[in-house]
Structure 1
Amino acid sequence: MTQIHATALVDPGAELDSSVTVGPYTLIGPHVKVGAGTTIGAHCVVEGRTTIGRDNRIFQFNSIGAIPQDKKYAGEPTELIIGDRNTIREFCTFNLGVPGAGGVTRVGNDNWIMAYTHIAHDCIVDNHTTLANNTTLAGHVHLADWVTVGGLTGIHQFVSVGAHAMVGFASAVSQDVPPFMLVDGNPLAVRGFNVVGLRRRGFTPERVAAVKQMHKLLYRQGLTLEQARGGIEALTQDIPEAAADVDMMTRFLASATRGIAR
């Protein structure tokens, strides 16, 4: 049987797997779906058209699936989709999407999301990210796989942060952050590349060397962005095993809409 505390209020229309646990005084709305093994702590509100996957740990005092903080929103049937095996600590706020921009806020799998994190409408948080306390994502932010964000950091709407990038403590992120880079500050500055993170994830010395060269081309040789992109594309000739990393970087640079952090 689903383990629902006697003081919790679960709407009859909600769809909860039989292995879901719901803590005291939690409210779950009629359009909510929760997958197997997920635990929802005390004093949470889970509402809206929210789908939560398997084996998530949602701690106490969270607001999941509330309407977006967008004056244009007029009650349209938008969504929040959360994947599997995420840890969501206390006092987080995840909002539904808004129409005209996909209408879906997405959180992927295996993310470690600390207290007081805000994920606004239409954000996309991919997989294996770490968001420290008081991370604030404005609308339409995209965090790619393995991004780490330091505490007390704000990320401007429509900003993209590339895979394996790391954002330091108390930063103001208003431009796109390329993959692999290490940034911090207000105003934001690129301090290097995330060599420790790459080694922890099994990057070979050759791949790390390719990322180091990408950083050098972008930030240390006084090149224009187009010149740097050309040099990055040529790296596959010398380091063929880094082809996927080079491709990810070139695609990111080509699609950056807010200019890259320099």
Structure 2
Amino acid sequence: MSNIHQTAIVDAGAEIDPSVTIGPYAVIGPHVRIGAGTVVGAHCVIEGRTTIGRDNRIFQFASLGAVPQDKKYAGEDTRLVIGDRNTIREFCTFNTGTAQDKGVTTIGDDNWIMAYVHIAHDCVVGHHTTMANNTTLAGHVEVGDWATVGGLTGVLQRMRIGAHTMVGFASHIGKDVPPFMVVDGNPLAVRGVNLVGLRRRDFSAQRIAAIREMHKLLYRQGLTLEQARSAIQALAAQVPDAAQDVAMMDTFLAAAAQGIAR
């Protein structure tokens, strides 16, 4: 394959689409699969049971598919799965899953992942997310679609960052972050609704008004979480256009076993 540099080391067992480009000194392991149109930069190491989709751009020195940084890991055949059209910048490190959880680390489609981002074992990253430089996800973290995470942010194990959220620079995520919110700081604080992001994604005025009401119920009325959930559930009938947004929030809150940022 003329688009694989002569200095790259590609194991004969790897499944590489003929249109894939692999740069100088890259190392590709035997259980790796890479889809059409993906570009792998110089000095990248892609190992383990790693599957990468179509049209990804992986910049130089990334390490994808290494074993998890978990002392319990005992050599099980766990996986890393990366979707399509992702940008993965320099020195990113994504690990495979563990047998104690799903056994797979998953990154969706159309994500913009900047330099030095670490995605640990068993994380689930959705679609259209942005993670700025030095974002660090510990094991079992979930990041929803369209979330934006500021640089130098650390996310503790098993935390969830909801869809359409905005996390500010150098934040400490030690509680779940509900969908649609803007948070930042250490200790973490909720600053409001991600109005800029919602308007960029063409949310209607009715949907945004319902989301602002959900924020008010969670953070401005002095309600318990269960009281706020009950009031939020009622919004689906009051604002039918926002029913899917209300359902997303309610589902997220129902699973917040470790509490939410408040």
| 1:3 match: secondary structure | coil
Partner of 2:45: 45
- Report the counterpart of residue 78 of structure 2 in structure 1: 78
Kindly state the Cα deviation for residue 2 of structure 1 after the two structures are TM-superposed. 5.4
Structure 2 partner of 1:32: 32
CA distance in 2 between counterparts of 1:12 and 1:66 reads 19
1:61 and 2:68 are equivalent in the alignment: no
Equivalences for 1:1-262 in 2 at 5 Å? 1=1, 3-262=3-262
Instruction: State how far apart, in whole Å, the 2-side matches of 1:69 and 1:77 are.
Output: 15
Conserved 8 A contact 1:59-1:90: yes
> Displacement of 1:258 after TM fit?
1.5
Which whole-Å CA distance do the structure 1 matches of 2:260 and 2:59 have between them? 35
Note the alpha carbon deviations across 1:67-96, whole angstroms, 9 max, x for none: 000011111100000000000000000001
> Following the alignment from structure 2 to structure 1, what is the Cα–Cα distance between the partners of residues 13 and 120?
26
Deviations 1:118-157 (A, max 9, x none): 0000000010000000000000000010010000000000
**Equivalent residue letter for 1:92:** C
Q: Is the 8 A contact 1:81 1:106 kept in 2?
A: yes
**Preserved contact between residue 176 and residue 257 of structure 1 (Cα < 8 Å):** no
**What is the Cα deviation at residue 227 of structure 1?**
1.0
Alignment partners' CA distance in 2, 1:234 and 1:246: 9
Q: TM-score, normalised by structure 2?
A: 0.99
Specify every segment of 5 or more residues in structure 1 that has no aligned partner in the other structure, as ranges: none
Name the TM-score, length of structure 1 as normaliser: 0.99
Are the counterparts in 2 of residues 2 and 18 from structure 1 also a CA contact under 8 Å?
Answer: no
Structure 1 position 238, deviation (Å): 1.9
Give the superposition deviation at 1:237.
Answer: 2.3
Query: Could you say what secondary structure the match of 1:210 adopts?
Result: helix
**DSSP 3-state at the match of 1:4:** coil
Give me the whole-angstrom Cα distance separating, in 1, the residues matched to 2:4 and 2:58. 14
**What is the rounded CA distance, in whole Å, between the counterparts of 2:72 and 2:12 in structure 1?**
30
Identity %: 71
The structure 1 segments of at least 4 consecutive aligned residues displaced by more than 6 Å after TM superposition are none
> Partners in 1 of 2:10 and 2:237 — Cα distance?
58
Computed over aligned residues only, the root mean square deviation of the Cα atoms, in angstroms, reads 0.7
Separation in structure 1 between the aligned mates of residue 90 and residue 100 of structure 2, nearest angstrom: 31
Structure 1 CA distance, aligned partners of 2:111 and 2:127? 6
Q: Shift in Å at residue 97 of structure 1? A: 0.4
Q: Deviations over 1:189-237 (max 9, x none)?
A: 0000101000000100000000000000000111111111111111122
Q: 2: CA distance between counterparts of 1:2 and 1:200?
A: 41
